[in-house]
Amino acid sequence: MAAGVAKYHISKLSSHLTNIVVVGVIIARQQPRVFGNKKCPNGQSSTDRAVFNLTLRDSPSDCINVSRWGTVSVVGQEAENFHIGDVVEIFNARVSVRNEESGRFQPFTSSAYNLVVSDDGQINPFTADPAAYKSLLHVPTRPAHDYTILSLVDTKEGNEHLPKAENFLVSVIKVEPVQVINTKDNREVRKQLLRLLDFTAKAVPMELWDPEYLRMAAEWKPRETVLYIADGLVKWDEFKQCKVISVNSSTLITENPNVPEAMALRHYAKSVPISFSELVHSMSNKLPDLNSITNQMSVQQAKEKVEDRETFTAVINAFLSKLNIDEPQTAVSLRCWHCHQIRKHDENVCMSSDCMGKEQVFSATFNVLASITDRTGTLENIRLGGRAAEQILGMEADVFLELDEKEVAQVKQKLLLEKWDMKIWVQLSQTQRPRHRHDVESNLSLNYSCVLQIEASFLA
């Protein structure tokens, strides 16, 4: 360190200090912005300046916003080099009193000051002991218990108070592909939608637009990644008629917080059941070739096979002893043709905030609860969907929805107690597999209701 230069912790800063060095880990950053002034004859600005904002942390309780001003080339290069998670040292920054007005567009910090780095300052990588700072990446910037539950977002009430900044502790349940969107001024921007879960709600949407968070989201794993979101913006999507969480320049996201509340949520996210419709849609490309299913089994043998805890297929000669089609709205799911999300029967539009479809087009698919029985026993809570349901019911799902109560009863009476050769595919979810061999029988119904999928040919 040069003579006359002193290192200061964020908590010890004051506005009279000069020739200082501050070391910390970047916990937030924004894209650089360019400001042009007077134009030269050649059309180029002689005084183009750029600013690159980031947020630095050096202890569990201390963080500060940093503004790096300089030429477009210098600021652009530093913005490319430094990202969230990097440990840096700030040289020769000016300590200024935090401006509450400008602070509205930056994360809230504990410090009463900002650091301003100009042409005579530097931001360099810190290599002496970065591990000591990187552990701060897993410490929330707010108290771990200070968050809003998602069920308050997953409602159509309270819209008069939006948009509104809230804190959330959530698990990532789904990461949608990145979308490329062309703006009205012919720019290409990228957007990504995530589905979030907590103990009170699941599949609440969150939008990401910032390139830095898009980069981070590429590493987020459904059911494993937990996020503490400080000042996430809750807003109303008028087109979708639902609330969404948006990440803006004031938001701070802590990945996998090292707090008991986050650990409990991660455990819950790994065990919460997935709806049948989501499961079928996600596994639709994994169904085996029907011609390859030749292994004959009885119902009892299929039950015993569950103990092996592996995916298997079988041909079972059995009766349909239960067929839950009395209420068409529970027997048929409506899926958006554009984004493939399930729509409730009492909703007129797709509620998915990432749906890009201008026309409301939905496809109807069967999702029928059934039981099969042979002389050795009964498999209950089996789900029957897709082509298999269409073949056994003799019609497509949209036609079935047009039947009246009497016609549905006639279809059911005709099919019950008929004997079929059923080709089945059984896959146990990781979260529902029995822990011990003696748990198999007691857990069988729960396992099958979640993960036993009949998607095959049914032959009379």
Q: Which CATH number do you get for residue 47?
A: 2.40.50.140
Same domain, 292 and 379: yes
Same domain, 309 and 440: yes
Displacement of CA 147 from its chain's centroid (Å): 18
Torsion sign over Cα 453, 451, 381, 383 = negative
Residues 6+ apart with CB under 8 A from 221: 172
Same domain, 126 and 156: no
Out of 135, 161, 192, a domain closes at: 135
- Are 225 and 254 in contact, with CB atoms under 8 Å apart? no
| Beta-bridge partners for 379 | 372
What are the CA-CA distances from residue 341 to residues 33, 280, 296, 355 (Å)? 37, 12, 36, 9
Token pair 């349940």 is found at 173
User: 407, 353, 30: which is closest to 193 by C-alpha?
Assistant: 353
Q: Give me the phi and psi of 80, to 5 degrees please.
A: -70, -30
Same domain, 303 and 428: yes
Q: What pLDDT is stored for residue 390 in this prediction?
A: 82
Same domain, 198 and 176: yes
405-415 and 386-393 are packed helices; what angle lies between their axes, rounded to 10 degrees? 90
Same domain, 106 and 164: no
Same domain, 55 and 195: no
Out of 111, 135, 159, a domain closes at: 135
Residues 6+ apart with CB under 8 A from 228: 140, 141, 142, 144, 147, 167, 168, 169, 253, 254, 257, 262
* Domain contains 1: no
* Domain contains 330: yes
Q: Which domain holds residue 441?
A: 276-459
* Domain contains 145: no
Same domain, 85 and 117: yes
Distance CA 326, CA 438 (A): 35
Looking from the CA of 192 toward its CB, the CA atoms found within 13 Å total 20
- Are 254 and 141 in contact, with CB atoms under 8 Å apart? yes
* Domain contains 141: no
Distance CA 420, CA 442 (A): 27
Same domain, 286 and 416: yes
* Domain contains 142: no
Displacement of CA 384 from its chain's centroid (Å): 28
> 398-421 as b/e, with b when 16 or more CB fall inside 10 Å?
eebeebeeeebeebbeebeeeebe
* Domain contains 140: no
Same domain, 51 and 164: no
Torsion sign over Cα 186, 354, 386, 430 = positive
Same domain, 407 and 375: yes
Instruction: Divide the 460 residues of the chain into consecutive groups of 10 and give the mean pLDDT of each group.
Output: 80 93 97 75 64 96 96 92 96 90 83 94 92 95 92 75 90 91 87 91 89 96 95 85 89 96 92 58 54 85 74 83 86 72 64 52 79 88 76 85 90 84 66 34 30 38
Displacement of CA 52 from its chain's centroid (Å): 28
Q: Give me the phi and psi of 334, to 5 degrees please.
A: -105, 120
Out of 221, 238, 271, a domain closes at: 271
Number of domains in the chain: 3
Q: Tokens for 99?
A: 């401006």
Distance CA 21, CA 89 (A): 7
Same domain, 326 and 347: yes
